[in-house]
A and B are shown apart, each in its own frame.
Chain A
Amino acid sequence: MGSCPWFATSLVSGLLSLVPSDSAIEVSHLVKTYGGVTAVSDISFNVARGEIVGFLGPNGAGKSTTMRILTGYLPATSGVVRICGVPVATQPDETKRRIGYMPENNPLPEDMRVSEYMYFRGRLKEVPRRKLGPRIDEVLEVCDLKRVRHKIIGQLSKGYRQRVGIAEAILAEPPVIIMDEPTIGLDPHQILIVRDLIASLRGRMTVIISSHILPEIEVTCDRVLIINQGRVVAQGTPAELRREIFGHSTYRIDLAGNPDQLTAALASVDATIRLTTQTDLDRDGFRRVTLTTNREEDLGEALLRNLLANGTRVRALSRAHPTLEDVFLAATRRSWDAVAPAAAPGRGNDDPRPETTARHGP
């Protein structure tokens, strides 16, 4: 492309942006360095239209940086980002027309009223004047802000402020919505409201949310991307991730008696069963054991039948589902282990808990 005159390049990219593409967001080999620090190193992912994608990662992993690059606020060091087929670096105005963004900490002007702010933002996002009034009413209705529409934003509580931020993001009906920690600091009722709001956008708009509240992400998002230290360490639906990271099922059984013969006794149910943990006997003579197996389907009934046939006294049996939190901790710990040996070859004996030093990072 270097030898083409500039108007040819912009013509081609303009024509390319008219071709409808399947992905709402395409990120390819994104790199961002600040001074000497690489905040984002070689991230690539696609988000399809109408999907809700969750962005997880420890603090300092590069989530906010990636989101800012997606919105065109920060320029990337290298890589390509396309929003609805329009490249962000060469056509920032066009991409900003297709985006609704709610930054971390939801900055709002303190001395405007809600309706004034909505009107101002609507005009900035080029919503036609005639449509703006009805659209603001609609959005305030959806976000349950009708009661506070004439209040000054500085006097609103946190839950209302988050909803004002979300209302402003969906105001111009952009095809892509990017929200950085939308439920932070909210109480459980408010989290439920915001969760329903975001779920109602599915299909119409593509949403990408970053959060630390893992149960929320698990419930709301179709797909999850886990970022650690500027790299994508896992991506997929929550179920796929559980399978990929853990790859096994865990059962908790409260039983009486000696667990030493248990593995051999249960081998007929599944050959890969192994005893992972056991507790001491409690007052009633029962202990809790954890069994792990590589089989995915539910073996609860078969286990119970086998145990009872052997005469073991069983008080409780349940299947433990790894939560997204377990996936997250395993995925982010895993990538730290991958880095640590190369970084500190001689320190293995002195440093038994590498993940604690990770948390003292930036």
Chain B
Amino acid sequence: MKHFPTLLSHEIRMLLVSPATYVAATLFLGFMGLIFTKILEMYSGPPQENSPANVFFWLFWLPVCVMVPLLTMKCLAEERRLGTIETLLTTPVTTTEVVLAKFGAAYFLYVALWGTTSGFFYILKKFSGDARFLDSGPLVGGYLFIAVSGMLFVAIGVFASSVTRNQSVAGILSCVILASLILGGNALSDSTWLEHGILRPAKSVIEYAHVFAHRDDFARGVIDTRHVLFYLSGTVLALIFSILSVEAKLLHA
């Protein structure tokens, strides 16, 4: 793993010079800024039962489904299309190092972008002076949820990029997988036909993987290690599949 720092710093630099990153950042921050403005409008009226921090993270899935594909679609697909994966893998680096470096760079940028939204709360604190609006529990819990679930989402994006040589296909694939994981899981958890006896195991799986339930728990300040384990193991699985997918395309070229 001794080439990992070189690869990681290279990948971060490449992400920072790519226009797609800035498109993703602009869309993301624009969208979250809009949400925050709506929250401020809502809270300047009658008192609400949830704290702003809780409401802020409700719509996390929309920027995730747009930003994660934009950050990750290029990473392995472009290398394969240009052929630079060949020059990369004929140096003494392992496929594991390469995939982990790409994951690390995309995850770093994802967390950094979400981290900049804390500026909104800083503005709120500075200009409102009202302690009611600032509930540190949901805020910390919300950001922790973003950090933990982000690992899985970015890993899924890297996996989608590793199975194709076309960036657009990789982007759409990761968007669809993320949407079906987050929104599909939510939709299915309420559906009644899971109540049938045969589908009972499926129901327990869907309840376990219910991302919105995780978000609610984190935002309430409950850091459930089962949820953390779900995201960690999902991340590891997605990364293993990415590594295998890169190597499989060499074996069966």
Given contacts A34-B253, A73-B250, A74-B250, contact A124 B93 (CB under 8 A): yes
List, in ascending order, chain A residues with CB within 8 A of B91's CB. 96, 121, 124-125
A110, B82: Cβ atoms closer than 8 Å? yes
Q: Interface size for chain A: under 10, 10 to 19, 20 to 34, or 35 or more residues?
A: 20 to 34
Chain B residues 75-102 with CB under 8 Å of chain A are 82-84, 86-94
Q: Does any Cβ of A come within 8 Å of B3's Cβ?
A: yes
Q: Distance (Å) between the CB of B100 and the closest chain A CB?
A: 15
Q: Interface size for chain B: under 10, 10 to 19, 20 to 34, or 35 or more residues?
A: 20 to 34
Report the bound CA distance from A107 to B83 in whole Å: 5
Q: Does any Cβ of B come within 8 Å of A45's Cβ?
A: no
Chain B residues 8-41 with CB under 8 Å of chain A are 10, 14, 17-18
Report the bound CA distance from A201 to B251 in whole Å: 33
A-B contact count (CB 8 A): 58
Given contacts A75-B251, A124-B6, contact A108 B90 (CB under 8 A): no
| Binary interface encoding of chain A residues 219-230 relative to chain B, with 1 for a CB under 8 A from any of its CBs, else 0 | 000000000000
Within 8 Å by CB of B87, from A72, A74, A107, lies A107
Report the bound CA distance from A103 to B253 in whole Å: 15
B14, A111: Cβ atoms closer than 8 Å? yes
Residue in A96, A99, A109 whose Cβ sees the most chain B Cβ within 10 Å: A109
Given contacts A34-B253, A124-B6, contact A73 B83 (CB under 8 A): no
B86, A107: Cβ atoms closer than 8 Å? yes
List, in ascending order, chain B residues with CB within 8 A of A351's CB. none
Within 8 Å by CB of A103, from B14, B83, B251, lies B83
List, in ascending order, chain B residues with CB within 8 A of A111's CB. 14, 17-18
Report the bound CA distance from A96 to B252 in whole Å: 21
B82, A101: Cβ atoms closer than 8 Å? no
Apart from A73-B250, A96-B92, A124-B7: 4 A-B pairs, beta carbons within 8 A: A74-B253, A101-B87, A103-B87, A107-B86
A–B complex contacts, Cβ < 8 Å, 16 sampled:
A73-B86, A73-B89, A74-B250, A93-B92, A93-B94, A101-B90, A109-B14, A109-B82, A110-B82, A111-B14, A112-B14, A120-B10, A124-B7, A124-B92, A124-B93, A168-B87
